[in-house]
Structures are given as C-alpha cells and as structure tokens.
Amino acid sequence: MDSSHHGNYKLSKAEKKFLRKQIKASHTLLRHEGIQTVSCATQSLVVANGGLGNGMCRNQLLPVLEKCGLVDALLMPPNKPYSFARYKTVEESKRAYVTLNGKEVVDDLGHKIILYLNFVEKAQWKELRPPALPPGLVVVEEIISSEDEKMLLESVDWTKDTDNQNSQKSLKHRRVKHFGYEFHYEGNNVDKDKPLSGGLPDICDSFLEKWLREGYIKHKPDQMTINQYEPGHGIPAHIDTHSAFEDEIVSLSLGSEIVMDFKHPDGITVPVMLPRRSLLVMTGESRYLWTHGITCRKFDTVQASGSQKSGIITSDVGDLTLSKRGLRTSFTFRKVRQTPCNCSYPLVCDSQRRETPPSFPESDKEASRLEQEHVHQVYEEIAGHFSSTRHTPWPHVVEFLKALPNGSVVADIGCGNGKYLGVNKELYTIGCDRSQNLVDICRERQFQALVCDALAVPVRSGVCDACISIAVIHHFATAERRVAAVQELVRLLRPGGKALIYVWAMEQEYNKQKSKYLRGNRTSQEKKEEMNGDTSVQRLLVEQMSDLGSRDSASSVPCIREGRGNSRQVSDSKLPIHVNRTSFYSQDVLVPWHLKGNPDKGKPVEPFGPIGPHDPSPVFHRYYHVFREGELEAACRTVSDVRVLQSYYDQGNWCVILQKA
Ligand SMILES: O=C(O)CCC(=O)C(=O)O
Ligand SMILES: [Fe+2]
Ligand SMILES: [Zn+2]
C-alpha cells in the first residue's frame, strides 16, 4: 500500500486523525532528524514512538515487528523516540506498515504507545559517538566476589545517627556517607585539617591492599564516600575538585549496575556501563577534564546481547535496549591532596587560576565594574560567534510580537544580533544593545539599532507601545540594578503599554522536564549551538509527538540537584564558574563561552589561566544572576505604575508580561 493513495473510499474521522499523525511523524523526522521517508514500499521502516527514548524496549518491540515477518535488523539509537526495522522482504515490511501503523503497544511501565511507521530507503544510523573510553578510564569487572559484595553492603549502617560527625546526609537524590574526611557539597571540598575520627572502615582495608598489590590502584586512599541511589536517583555531572583530591579516584559499584555519563568540555558524551562488583578507575584526563554523572532515571540504555558487560555502551544501535535500574551503592575512594594541583588541565583546575576570579559585588560600583568586564567586554569579543549561534527566535516571544497591533512602536532592550527586530514587519521596532559589534550586526541586517546601557535608554518616556527584554536582566549584578533595569523598561512604555521580560532560571528542571540547556547527547551540528548555551536547538521528536502517547523515560523523575555540579572550589565570595550543561548551584555565576572561529580578530585574553594545549578555543566568562521561581515577578512588583499580567516558565527561563498603569 502506498501511503499517499487511499482511493475513493471515504476515511473515517479516526482514520483521518491517524493519517494526519502519521504524516506529521514523517515531517518531524525530516525536519528535526534529517530522516527522509519515502512513499513507495521498501524493506525498511522507521517506527516513530518505537524508540528507546520513549521507553520502548527491544524485547517488546521486536516480537511485535516479527509478527509481520522476518526482521533482519532492528536499530534502536539511544535516547531517540524512533527505531529502524529492516525486513527480509518488501512484502513483510508492507505487512508491518499496514498492520502496525497506528497500533497501540504497551511499554514496560504499562504506558500505551501508538506506533507510526513510514518507509525509508535504508535502515541506517550514523553513530557519532567515538568508540573509545575517556583517556585514563578503566572499568575492572568482577573485582570482588558476590559474597564480598553482600558483606560490604551489610556493613553499611544507614540507621546510625552519625550527625555529630556530620558525615551522613540524605541528599535530594541519593544518600551519602563520608569516611576519613567529610566532603562539603556547599564548597565542593574537604576540610583537610579536620579528618573524621575512625578513618576508613576496617572492612575496606583488605580490598584496598589487594587492589594496590595487583596494580589496579597506585595510592592508598584516605577518604571514602558511600553513595546510595534508588532507581530514579542520580548525581549531577561534576569533576571532583582538583585541589581536594589526588589524581586517582576509584568507585566500587555494589548491588546493581548503572550507566555513568562522561562528558568532555567539547560536548562529547560517553555513557559507560558500571556492572555490579566492578571498579571504576579514573585517572588523568578522565579524572581531571571530563565530568562524570549519573542521570536521574529509572532505566538505562544498555547492550541487549550482554556480550560486553562493562565499559562504553556500544555504538551498535542494532544491539541496544533498556534495563531497569536497581538499588546501587557505590564506595568511592579518594586520596586527599595536600599540595595544590598542577595537572595539565588549567582551564578546569581550581588550583591553577592565574588571576583570582571576580568576587560577588558588594557595591553598585563593583557591580558596574563586574558587568563591564564580564558582560560588556565579553559580548564585544564574542559578538560574531555569539551571533552565529543565535538564529531561532523563541516561539513565545514571537507570539508576543505578532499579537501587537500593527503600527506599534516597540523597543528591544538588549537586542543582540536583532533576531526579534524583523519578526513582525508591521511594527516600528528599534533595538538597543550594550555591544557595538552586535549593534553593527543589526545594522548590517538593515535593522534600526543603537548602542546604549539598559539602565539609561536614550528614548523619551512613554513613547513605546511595547518593550521586550530577552535574556538581558540576568546580566545585572545586584538586585537594585535588576529592578532599575525593569524600571527603565517601564519608563519607556505609554500607559497601557506592555513589556515582555525573559531571564535565565536557576531551575533548569521544571515540571519534571529538563530544559534544553541540560539535555545532553547531541549531534555535532547541535553541539555548535548548545556548547554555549543556545536554547534554540532542534526539539526532540519526542516533544513533537507528545500527543502521540509518548513519555520521556529519561526524565520521568524530577531531579532538582542538591547543590553540586561544578568542579570549582567556592570559597568566600568568589563567583563560581558554572560547568555548561549542568544544573546551577549558585545564583551568581560565571558562565564560560568557548570562542570558536575568527582567530585573526586580535588575540583575545584568557581571563583565568593560560590556554592549555588541550583546548584550542579561548574561554570567556559571562556573569549571570540566574533567577529563582518568583524572583522576577517579585522584582517587577517593586516597580511602580505597572502590574504583572502574566508570569511563566519557558525552557529554562522565567518570564513576565507587564502592563503599565
Ligand atoms: O556513585 C559513583 O560511582 C560516583 C560518585 C561520585 O562521583 C562522587 O561522589 O563524587
Ligand atoms: Fe565524583
Ligand atoms: Zn588540576
């Protein structure tokens, strides 16, 4: 049967609805994934909603497909809400197309999922993942016996109240216990002068001695953290603070296997299987440069055949499925460092910052200086690259602009490269930005724009019908300055005029959904934009198909992190450097921008430390104050003559629409 020919026979309402959705699935695959479907029958099908990314297991989908014929290959790419099936013959794939299209199947958790099938030329999947483990990483399987595992697990006493030593904590998404030295999550460091009494448990001693003897580890650890993860729990991506611990960090997995994600600063993610009773050894690059973390979820994407138990999850999408997590307890052993770290990764080394990072501003003057150095100057330097990553206007901003009456006068305060200036041609729009280079880009695009500070816009009061300020006010470094920026926006409005404000949210996970900023696993094209926090990257198919009964198993559990996710030591009032693509643990942060391209545009300075041989792209740090829920609204309420019409969360941002009285 050809999907485009349904003869003269009149379709029922349900059939029409199904057809619409099937066509939509095909369009979405093309638009977002570049997968072409074809109208003539072939041996191969793409099965939308039949993917690991929306909770479908290999052993659930395969029998369904096999009812229609012999399946040659079933490719299930990780985290994707679709899979590819190749049948032995076209006859069989046609049968599948006819019988399974629109068919409801039930996944592992009893959710109903409707499949949409389309023919493709070839069942193929280009794997972008490098086939190697991060350098310096080893997983030693079966390092202990089942009996020892049992004994170690039984030795952990979670009931004992050791609060006087402050070594046991119930964090939001796992339980922890510390030995030897306590790890302080607030500062991401240990107190070297205050070892905990008792040292490491005696029970660990014989194992450590044995691993030393057999060469799995080189140093005897003096600190241990026990983490316990229920299914759905996790640990945010982080690098164990360089200045706190020596090179070698090892973690023993007990009770259940789990997949740990390693991420390189360039954006590559390598998921690594840690089987139960295995020892993860991180040294060198894998310990110092790559982040490690465990995503909060109840299922992991694993190899179906089980031939290779540990290490990197294969890139063979013909052999992936989902595995239900169990209760995992890990013993992480580290050696506390007594001298500063001198690793070869200065960009991520808290011991090797050449200059001291800026502090939290104590006065308006300091705030202004911080903004100058870590907002204005940075945008001036990165303008070209920044602009090349900012194409797609955010839909709700577009909606706001399109809803304004024709002829409205609109100011875009902090217009960047002008991506909103031409959205609605029926408006009179003027942009302004603090960066000359960005304003030049706007002018090249034939938009009206001028350079100014958002605290002093050279426009008469009350002349604007509307104003927008998208991703700007979070760059002001005190609460007073942020309110003043709102005040200035309101000053421009005529009575009844409206303003739309977007600021970056501290909460990058909201309503059980991770923002695009947090979501990993992207393609190389996506990487370019995502690397520096652009939120306009392509949406996942699973979102597009949200009305098709899909669910995102990868983020089905809310996971607000307990304040970790950065490798830096946060001492006194120094601003912490945020690790891109991780949760925020501080509201005032420096967010790195990895400058790519135009190297001839003068050698930009590297603020904290030399550019190592490992990272060819200079890094700039932009200051941000990320807003907590309600904070933007509260700031707006202190401004007179204005009321908050609407307040909402949109893809990692807090947003308000104001109206002048
Ligand atoms: O659970 C694990 O294996 C790792 C724990 C970890 O990375 C840490 O506590 O720093
Ligand atoms: Fe760690
Ligand atoms: Zn270091």
Q: Give the pLDDT band (50/70/90) at residue 551.
A: very low
Judge if the beta carbon of residue 256 lies within 6 A of ligand 1: no
The CATH number linked to 478 is 3.40.50.150
Radius of gyration of the chain (CA): 27
Which of 371, 361, 260, 348 is CA-nearest to residue 579?
348
Residues 238, 379, single domain; the answer is no
Q: Any idea which of 276-285, 420-429, 566-575 has the lowest mean pLDDT?
A: 566-575
CA pair distance 549, 568, nearest whole angstrom: 42
pLDDT for the residue numbered 372:
93
Range scoring the smallest mean pLDDT among 53-57, 607-611, 622-626: 607-611
Mutual angle of helices 202-213 and 146-155, in 10-degree steps: 140
**Cα 478 to Cα 484: distance, rounded to the nearest angstrom:** 10
- Work out the average pLDDT over 522-548: 30
For the Cβ of 328 lying below 6 angstroms from any atom of ligand 1, the answer is: no
CB-ligand 1 contact for 225 (6 Å cutoff): yes
Q: Using one digit for the tens of pLDDT, what is the confidence trace for 77-116?
A: 877 889 999 999 999 999 999 999 988 888 766 788 899 9
Identity of the residue numbered 522: R
CATH number of the domain that 261 lies in? 2.60.120.1520
pLDDT digits (tens, 9 = 90+) for 154-168: 999 887 655 445 467
Percentage, residues of the chain above pLDDT 90: 54
Query: Do 173 and 112 share a structural domain?
Result: no
- Residues 112, 171, single domain; the answer is no
Predicted confidence at residue 561, as pLDDT, reads 26
Residue 42 · residue 2 · CB < 8 Å? no
Same domain flag for 99 and 141: no
Stretch among 158-162, 299-303, 374-378, 557-561 having the lowest mean pLDDT:
557-561
Of the two residues 375 and 351, the one the predictor is more confident about is 375
Is residue 314 in contact with ligand 1, taking CB distance under 6 Å? no
Q: What is the mean pLDDT of residues 329-337?
A: 96
154 compared with 25, residue with greater pLDDT: 154
Of 252, 330, 566, best ligand 1 pocket probe by most atoms within 8 Å of the beta carbon: 330
Q: Are 106 and 146 in a shared domain? A: no
Within-domain flag for 554 = no
pLDDT at 337: 95
pLDDT given for residue 301 in this prediction? 85
Asked if residue 261 has its Cβ within 6 Å of ligand 1, the reply is no
Q: What is the CATH number of the domain that holds 34?
A: 3.30.70.330
Total count of domains within the chain: 3
User: What range defines the domain where residue 101 resides?
Assistant: 13-120
**Per-residue pLDDT band at 36 (split at 50, 70, 90):** confident
Nearest residue (by CA) to ligand 1, atom 8, is: 332
DSSP state of 577: B
What's the 223 CA to ligand 1 centre distance in angstroms?
Answer: 12
Domain presence at residue 148: yes
Domain boundary among 352, 384, 406: 352
Which numbered atom of ligand 1 lies nearest the CA of 227? 1
| Domain C-terminal end among 352, 381, 409 | 352
Q: Ligand 1: which atom is nearest the Cα of residue 240?
A: 10
- How would residue 416 be classed by pLDDT, with cut points 50, 70 and 90? very high
Q: Whose CA is nearest to atom 1 of ligand 1?
A: 330
Residues 110, 252: one domain?
A: no
**Measured from the CB, is residue 332 less than 6 Å from ligand 1?**
yes
333 and 477, same domain (yes or no): no
Q: Which residue has the higher pLDDT, 354 or 592?
A: 592
Residue 572's pLDDT is 54
Atom of ligand 1 lying closest to residue 253 CA: 3
Across 231-250, average pLDDT = 92
pLDDT classification of 617: cutoffs 50, 70, 90? low
State whether 259 and 385 are in the same domain. no
Ligand 1 centroid vs 177 CA: distance in angstroms? 11
Highest mean pLDDT among 70-84, 595-609, 638-652: 638-652
pLDDT in tens, 254-285: 999 999 999 887 667 888 999 999 999 999 99
Mean pLDDT of the chain: 82
Q: For residues 97 and 76, give the distance between their C-alpha atoms in angstroms, rounded to a whole number.
A: 18
State the distance from the centre of ligand 3 to the C-alpha of 329, rounded, in angstroms: 28
pLDDT greater than 50 at residue 520: yes
Q: 389 CB under 6 A from ligand 1? A: no
Indicate the residue among 323, 352, 381 that finishes a domain.
352
- Cβ contacts of 475 within 8 Å, gap of 6 or more: 371, 375, 622, 623, 624, 625
Residue 213, pLDDT > 60, answer yes
* pLDDT confidence of residue 483: 97
618 in a structural domain: no
Check residue 294 and give its pLDDT. 93
Residue 145 CA, ligand 1 centroid: distance in Å:
21
- For the Cβ of 235 lying below 6 angstroms from any atom of ligand 1, the answer is yes
User: Residue 627 has what pLDDT?
Assistant: 97
Residues 93 and 197 in one domain: no
Residue 530: pLDDT above 80?
Answer: no
